[in-house]
Amino acid sequence: MRDFKLGGAELADDKKKRYAEVQEKLAALSTKFSENVLDATNDYKLLIADVAELKGLPEEVLQAAQHAAEQDGKTGYQFSLHFPSYFPVLQYAENRSLRETIYRANATKASELGDHPEWDNSAIIDELLSLRQEEAELLGYQNFAEISLLPKMAESATQVEGFLLDLANKAKPYAEKDLIELRQFANEQFGIDDMQAWDTTFVSEKLREQRYAFSEQEVKQYFPEHKVVAGLFNVIQTLFAVNIKTDSAATWHPDVKFYRVERDGELVGQFYVDLYARAAKQGGAWMDDARARCLKANGVQTPVVYLTCNFNAPVVVDGVTKPATFTHDEVITLFHEFGHGLHQLLTKVDDISVSGISGVEWDAVELPSQFMENFCWEWDVLQQMTAHTDTGEHLPRSLYDKMIAAKNFQSGLQTLRQVEFALFDMRLHDGSANAEQLSVAQVLQKVRDQVAVMQPPAFNRFQHSFGHIFSGGYSAGYFSYKWAEVLSADAYAAFEEVAKTEGSSLSRKVGQGFQTEILEMGGSRPALESFVAFRGRKPSIDALLRHNGMVQ
């Protein structure tokens, strides 16, 4: 009933016509927004001839850049704005001007400051917001946030803002401490007394290396693709009593793999895995469904999903193929997306409108995905999914201990960054920007003035590629990540509790409860009811603060 109403079913004929026009235009603009970001990303190529300018970059990053140049018939090292290419420059390049160059290119893509006016998303953003406001008014609501929140757990924009500001207040002292340490380190170690946005990633990595005596590149050598995927499958099979097997199907690229999930010999679902970045592929990581579980005349239709990431592909060096290796953050990303996949694959609901993730409140849909991330920090799990690319040895306990010690490094800054994005999103859609006659840029700056401890340069156009809210379904809903993180941290605490007595978080008993009360239920009942059925009480923020090291 709610969805029919939000689809314009109760409107008069003339308003139905306009509503349909608005929806068509919104769809076209969202697609164009994504295309502009992708075109700008694919177009940028930075060719460096002299390897001396690339001091600090890991060897495998140099090899990938050299390979990219060769594919374009060039000599040297070529970088793009795809994450696996540009981010290591910001993280490791000692050449400060090089870091600034690629930071500026990434921060201004798809904006009026880019090289291609036809890819500028400025007007698209304004038109999207205007049409969303019109849609809300057509349906009888004051603003788009009211529409967005109807199918969510959160009840109002005021409640969401209160939640975000409370989180910001708790995180800010830790973020301020993080920033003071970072600036002091930048000054003492690199003579940087005016630390800029293109310095923070580099300085942070060096501070982390010094404080915890390891680098991401060192850790990465222990995570070859085949071990990571096998380790992931082992976690799933242990917790949820299923078997994952290779399967065959037509794919859109030779790198794509296809698998099936079985329980007691019966097909539960199937999934594609597309892990590597490539030209013309949408950036980021996501799960989507090819088809959902539902009951048909000839029986149950089993679900099929896509699991997509953008990691570096294997590289051929001197005729030898080096396997793809993942950073620990990329391992976490893979587990995250597979959590979404589990929600879609393991549902037992036969009504397609509430099967899997369908019908699940948007601010609860991240619960299974963020829940799965926690296993990437468990010693017994990592033992099964690591093997050094040269020696084959498992991750050493000494290195694991350092990773755990560094787990909440700059968690204050990271939390404030997510709060900033979420507040910006909500204030664009809750009517306050219109009431105060603020531009999109002014809304963002006002949010930063309120919650941020670091200010990006004036040329930063982050909003022009903020696909989550302008083309990805998270409009007036980006807060869902933090909202669901409260749920996921508290849900995982149940596994931590049993680990104290059983010695492992891979508990089939607790996994059965999570599977039965959350994954299998899909959207067939309110997410809060599912959480309470699993946990025996309402969610608490305590576990989230503890997991992020933000407790006294």
Nearest to 373 by CA among 248, 462, 484, 466: 484
Number of H helices, E strands in the chain: 23, 11
Q: How far apart are CA 332 and CA 56, in angstroms?
A: 25
The tokens of 530 are what? Answer: 């599912």
Nearest partner of 286 among 311, 257, 258, 308, judged by Cα: 308
CA gap 427, 227 in Å, rounded: 43
Q: Rounded distance, CA 72 to CA 226, Å?
A: 29
Residue 98 one-letter amino acid: L
Cβ 305 vs Cβ 338: under 8 Å: no
In the set 135, 146, 216, 337, the catalytic residue is 337
Check residue 316 and report its DSSP letter. Answer: E
Residues 6+ apart with CB under 8 A from 315: 60, 63, 64, 67, 321, 322
Who's near 379: CB < 8 A, 6+ residues apart?
A: 397, 400
Q: What distances in angstroms separate CA 81 from CA 87, 277, 330, 517, one per listed residue?
A: 8, 11, 17, 41
CA gap 50, 198 in Å, rounded: 21
Q: Is there a catalytic annotation at residue 337? A: yes
Strand ranges (E), 320-452? 320-322
> CA-CA distances (angstroms) from residue 473 to 140, 366, 398, 424?
21, 13, 42, 15
DSSP three-state, residue 71: helix
φ, ψ for residue 299 (rounded to 5)? 125, -165
Amino acid, res. 50 = D
Look at the block and give the residue holding tokens 């605490």: 493
Percent helix, strand, coil in the chain, to 5, is: 55, 10, 35
- DSSP one-letter code for 312: P
> Would you tell me the crossing angle of helices 197-212 and 83-92 to the nearest 10 degrees?
70
Which secondary structure element, helix H or strand E, spans residue 311, and what is its range? strand 304-311
Burial level of 540, CB count in 10 A (0-12/13-18/19+)?
Answer: middle
Q: Counting Cβ atoms within 10 Å, is residue 63 exposed (0-12), middle (13-18) or buried (19+)?
A: middle
On the CB side of 59, CA atoms within 13 Å amount to: 4
Q: If 0-12 CB within 10 Å is exposed, 13-18 middle and 19+ buried, where does residue 325 land?
A: buried
At 489, give phi and psi (nearest 5°). -65, -40
Active site residues: 337
